[in-house]
Each structure stands twice: as C-alpha cells, then as structure tokens.
Amino acid sequence: MKFPLFATCVSLCVLAGCKSASSTAAKTDNSEQVGTAAVDLDSSEPVVSKVSYDPGAPATPVTLTTANFERQVLQSDRPVLVDFWAPWCGPCRRMEPTIEALAKEFRGQVTIAKLNIDEHGEIADRYQVTNIPRLIVFRGGRPVDSVVGVTSKEELATRLHAALGVTPVAGTTRQMR
C-alpha cells in the first residue's frame, strides 16, 4: 500500500490547524518502507520512528489452525483480521476476493488470516462465531472490532486503519491521537 509523501501529510495537518502532526509516510520507490513521522510544530525537526512493518509478510491470507492461532493472532505485534468462514458458505466465497485484496493492500502492516470453522470449530466457539462470514479484528491479542456478513473492501479497510491508529483523510493517511 502506497501513502503520500510525508511533507504532503504534514502540510494538510498544518493547514487544518493541528498543534502537532503525525503521519504515516512511505518512500515513493518500490521498497514500501513505512514509518511513523511526527512533527512538533513548535520545532521544525521531524522525528521518524518505524511502525511494525514486515516486508517479508505474505501478500496472501494466512491459513489459521488450532496449532498456529495463538502465535499468529494472540501473540502478534500488529493487528490481525481473522475471516471465520466455511467452504459451503456462499457469502464467504463472495468475500474471498476482498480478503485477498486486503492481504495485498495491508501487507506487512496487518495480518490477514482465514480460519475454517468446520475444521477448527473450537476457536469459532471461543469467539462466539454463530454466523459467517464473520470478520474479527484483533489487536494486542484481543478482539477490538467485528463485522458479520458480506462487507465492502472499503468498510474493512476503514476498520483496519482504525486498528492501526490511522484514518484516511483527503487522500492521505494520518495518525489518530
């Protein structure tokens, strides 16, 4: 996922009258390095620190099992979107292209994962999944957001930005305070 240049993000915040600005920024080359840049407007020096970003993360959803759920979801250092699904579920199959697209868009920032409830029902029971598709966003090992049913990519992206602590503003991405 590409973000606008840091200067553009900060400029928008300055125009909006923010006391301090924080923005997620990326290089414009193909390296997709992502960091959090913060500027104290009383000082002209930007302070840049890296957010949790894994350039080696898969661009496809992770398949969850009982064996890897704790490591992949509960112990993750970044947000995780878990798609609780079943192969016989038509709406679940409709969500597959959306889940695939989100895995590419949020690669390295959010883990996108799928859990087959027929094969791993005990995990679905633990999170009271009674209707599918059910998508639960985990952060810090805890569920922080959930949606049931076919949901647009845009709606899910908004929820993932919220889990990351950023919100899209006029074509930019900005850190929420």
- Catalytic residue, chosen from 9, 13, 18, 92, is 92
Looking at domain 62-163, its CATH superfamily turns out to be Glutaredoxin (3.40.30.10)
What are the CA-CA distances from residue 120 to residues 65, 133, 139, 156 (Å)? 6, 15, 21, 24
% of the chain exceeding 90 in pLDDT:
59
Whether the CB-CB separation of 111 and 79 falls below 8 Å is answered with yes
- With H, G, I as helix, E, B as strand and everything else as coil, classify residue 37: strand
Q: Six-digit token pair at 127?
A: 């999170």
Active site residue 92: yes
Domain residue ranges in the chain: 6-53+164-175, 62-163
pLDDT band at 53 (very low <50, low <70, confident <90, very high): low
∠62-64-65 over CA atoms, to 5°?
Answer: 150
150 or 51, which is more confident: 150
pLDDT of residue 55: 65
pLDDT > 60? residue 39: no
| Residue reference for tokens 């609780």 | 84
Distances from the Cα of 34 to the Cαs of 27, 52, 61, 100, in angstroms?
Answer: 7, 9, 20, 21
- Specify whether 18 is catalytic: no
Given a cut of 70, is residue 60 above it in pLDDT?
Answer: yes
φ/ψ of residue 150, rounded to 5: -65, 125
Instruction: Out of 9, 13, 18, 89, pick the active-site residue.
Output: 89
Joined tokens for residue 128: 């009271």
Q: For all residues of the chain together, what is the average pLDDT? A: 73
Q: Tokens in use for 32?
A: 């997709």
pTM listed for this prediction: 0.65
Classify the C-alpha dihedral 69-127-177-14 as positive or negative: positive
